[in-house]
């Protein structure tokens, strides 16, 4: 094939693809801008041959141009977190061997020192489009080639770059389009961060594949979302549980008439989806009481795409993630690596199939460790009850799910240990109604030193994203450790 197949993205398609502020961009206009970008990126070259090109900007026309333009040129897109601190960005850029970073003039990000240190170039999307001089044909891009490196936090201390092929993207997208009945008449808001599959695949790519309209919101604005919903702008809505909590709070704070208008707006949509973290049953029920919508909860991971989903037509059960999606193979395995035979027996979710990632970029040991007999080991423990999967939690306590992000406790501990007052640090997640989990730290201090939470959070600013900075702190005389010298994190839970 000559290019990744997004059927709606073609010249001559006049339908609206993106709504960005007052601007409406048609599929046809996007397509010619993507082609110009790809030619500008290629310059004199015929093929990008796997050059890693980072994309660092929020949702909008520039993001779509860069992502698809990199794909058309044969490059590998590395979408990065616009809210990440400089050291975090630097790590990902270096790890993926990025040679160019695409930014948007509309959303400038201070990158100069990082780029200088790494010897890489930051380019504005407009400039790359403007650099297109000739109408040379774009290269043929094999579907088996890597399309993206998406960074995820693993159980180790550093994020890992999951390599996802064009083919896997196609399978993920077409699976969801079918399961959730996407059509070109859909319209959906996009406010999720675009360095994560939830935003990239479930919202943006599904919409652009089938010709629907995406309302790009560069920054989450709950009040605006509610106004737009009340005005009937959306047919579909996808968010993390934390956002539904925020929406409920906002809606409940409105005057009666306005509240009714917003609730009716959500009621008229054809589907509301929740995922990326467990949706508390109370949230499911409150949302249903307010809007009449039974949230469709689904389960997936960066490495696998979406794997399990409540049904579109059948009963959506609160606290459950539903059934394995058609075309995906998932099984629960016990501790002896045997498939679980009976319902109600928990096991680790393992996934196989064309939607699964290729491996971690430049990390063969981590890739090998994450597969067993061809199955990807998610590290999540689940159980099937009456034909519905229920996620019990991660097999490891070191991954903290906060605000839809997956945070590595070890990574945060590593940064905290750089504080002059801290001798030892152990980080865990503690349950929280709004954020899913919040980061809590237990520390011991160096002799004569003192530390409080506001001081620690201030110190963390600029060293890590704000959502990673601890929201609870416990100063201890000694951390509980086992005979092997490892911190017993379960013993910290009650204390924090
Ligand atoms: P990420 O790779 O950042 O998307 O994180 C994937 C992880 O998020 C999974 O391995 C699960 O631990 C968690 N996750 C995703 N969706 C759900 C869900 N609906 N319920 C519980 N956990 C979820």
Q: Separation of 376 CA from ligand 1 center, angstroms?
A: 14
Residues 332, 263: Cα–Cα separation, whole Å: 38
Q: Is 151 helix (H, G, I), strand (E, B) or coil?
A: strand
Q: What is the mean pLDDT of residues 426-440?
A: 92
Q: Which fold has domain 397-491?
A: GMP Synthetase; Chain A, domain 3 (3.30.300)
Q: Which residues contact 448 (CB under 8 A, 6 or more apart)?
A: none
Q: What is the mean pLDDT of the chain?
A: 92
Distances (CA, A) of 62 to 55, 58, 168, 186, 216: 9, 9, 24, 22, 11
Q: How far is the CA of 237 from the centre of ligand 1 (A)?
A: 18
pLDDT recorded at residue 486: 55
CA of 362 to the centre of ligand 1 (A): 24
Q: Please report the pLDDT score of residue 493 as a whole number.
A: 82
Mutating to test ligand 1, I would choose from 153, 300, 317, 388 the residue with most ligand atoms within 8 A of its C-beta, which is 300
The pLDDT > 90 percentage for the chain reads 75
Neighbours of 98 (CB within 10 A): 24
Contact of 212 with 6, CB cutoff 8 Å = no
The minimum-distance atom of ligand 1 relative to the CA of 197 is 4
Q: What is the pLDDT of residue 330?
A: 97
**Among 383, 402, 406, which residue has the most ligand 1 atoms within 8 Å of its CB, making it the best to mutate?**
406
For range 427-451, the mean pLDDT:
93
Alpha carbons 469 and 207: distance in angstroms, whole number: 34
Ligand 1 centroid to 249 CA: how many Å? Answer: 24
The residues, ordered by sequence, that sit 6+ positions from 192 with a Cβ below 8 Å of its Cβ are 59, 198, 199, 203, 238, 239, 240, 404
Cα 34–chain centre separation: 23
Residue 190 main-chain phi, psi, to 5 deg:
-125, 105
pLDDT, tens digit, for every residue of 265-287? 999 999 999 998 778 787 899 99
Report the separation in Å between the CA atom of 262 and the middle of ligand 1, taken as the mean of its atom positions.
29
Which positions ≥6 away from 119 have C-beta within 8 Å? Answer: none
* Structural domain boundaries in the chain: 200-393, 397-491
Q: What is the distance between the alpha carbons of residues 199 and 230, in angstroms, rounded to a whole number?
A: 22
Q: Which residues pair with 241 in a beta bridge?
A: none
Of the pLDDT bands very low, low, confident and very high (cuts 50, 70, 90), residue 14 is very high
Alpha carbon nearest to ligand 1 atom 10, residue: 301
Lowest mean pLDDT across 24-33, 91-100, 428-437: 428-437
- Nearest atom of ligand 1 to the alpha carbon of 349: 10
Tens digits of per-residue pLDDT, 326-358? 999 999 999 899 999 999 888 899 999 999 999
485 pLDDT higher than 70: no
User: What would the mean pLDDT of 51-71 be, rounded to a whole number?
Assistant: 97
pLDDT (0 to 100) of residue 59? 96
pLDDT band at residue 398 under the 50/70/90 scheme: low
Ligand 1: residues whose CB is within 6 Å? Answer: 152, 275-278, 297, 299-302, 321, 378, 380, 391, 394, 401, 406
Question: How many other CB atoms are there within 10 angstroms of residue 384's CB atom?
Answer: 20
Short-list 81, 92, 102, 93, CA closest to 38 = 102
Instruction: Determine which residue's CA is closest to atom 5 belonging to ligand 1.
Output: 301
pLDDT tier for residue 393 given thresholds of 50, 70 and 90: low
Domain 200-393: CATH class, spelled out: alpha beta
pLDDT of residue 491: 84
Give the contacts of 178 (CB within 8 A, at least 6 positions apart): 326
Distance 277 CA to ligand 1 centre (A): 5
- Whether 394 shows a pLDDT value over 80: the answer reads no
pLDDT for 2: 46
């Amino acid at each position: 094939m000559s290019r990744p197949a997004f059927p709606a993205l073609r010249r001559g398609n006049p339908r609206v693809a993106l709504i960005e502020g007052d601007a409406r961009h048609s599929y046809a206009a996007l397509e010619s801008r993507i082609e110009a970008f790809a030619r500008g990126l290629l310059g004199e070259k015929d093929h990008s041959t796997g050059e890693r090109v980072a994309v660092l900007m929020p949702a909008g026309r520039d993001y779509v141009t860069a992502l698809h333009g990199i794909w058309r040129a044969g490059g590998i897109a590395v979408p990065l977190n616009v809210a990440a601190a400089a050291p975090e960005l630097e790590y990902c850029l270096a790890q993926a061997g990025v040679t160019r970073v695409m930014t948007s003039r509309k959303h400038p990000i201070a990158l100069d020192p990082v780029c200088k240190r790494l010897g890489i170039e930051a380019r504005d999307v407009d400039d790359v489009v403007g650099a297109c001089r000739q109408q040379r044909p774009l290269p043929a891009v094999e579907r088996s080639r890597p399309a993206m490196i998406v960074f995820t936090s693993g159980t180790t201390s550093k994020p890992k770059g999951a390599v996802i092929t064009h083919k896997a993207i196609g399978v993920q997208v077409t699976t969801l389009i079918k399961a959730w009945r996407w059509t070109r008449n859909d319209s959906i808001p996009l406010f999720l961060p675009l360095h994560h599959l939830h935003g990239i695949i479930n919202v943006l790519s599904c919409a652009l594949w089938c010709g629907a309209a995406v309302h790009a919101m560069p920054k989450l604005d709950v009040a605006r979302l509610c106004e737009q919903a009340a005005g009937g702008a959306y047919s579909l809505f996808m968010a993390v549980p934390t956002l539904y909590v925020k929406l409920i709070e906002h809606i409940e704070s409105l005057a009666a008439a306005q509240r009714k208008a917003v609730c009716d707006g959500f009621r008229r949509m054809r589907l509301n989806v929740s995922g990326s973290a467990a949706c508390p049953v109370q949230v499911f029920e409150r949302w249903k009481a307010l809007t009449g919508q039974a949230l469709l909860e689904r389960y997936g991971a960066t490495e696998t795409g979406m794997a399990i989903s409540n049904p579109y037509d059948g009963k959506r059960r609160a606290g459950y993630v539903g059934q394995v999606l058609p075309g995906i193979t998932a099984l629960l395995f016990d501790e002896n690596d045997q498939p679980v035979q009976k319902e109600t027996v928990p096991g680790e979710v393992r996934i196989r199939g064309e939607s699964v990632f290729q491996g971690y970029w430049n990390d063969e040991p981590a890739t090998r460790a994450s597969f067993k007999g061809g199955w990807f080991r998610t590290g999540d423990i689940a159980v099937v009850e009456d034909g519905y999967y229920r996620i019990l939690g991660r097999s490891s306590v070191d991954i903290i799910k906060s605000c839809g992000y997956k945070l590595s406790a070890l990574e945060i501990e590593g940064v905290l240990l750089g504080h002059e007052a801290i001798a030892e640090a152990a980080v865990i997640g503690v349950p929280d109604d709004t954020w899913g989990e919040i980061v809590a730290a237990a520390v011991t201090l160096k002799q004569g030193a003192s530390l409080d939470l506001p001081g620690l959070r201030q110190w963390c600013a600029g060293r890590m994203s704000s959502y990673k900075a601890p929201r609870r702190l416990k100063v201890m005389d000694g951390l509980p450790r086992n005979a092997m010298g490892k911190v017993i994190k379960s013993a910290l839970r009650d204390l924090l």
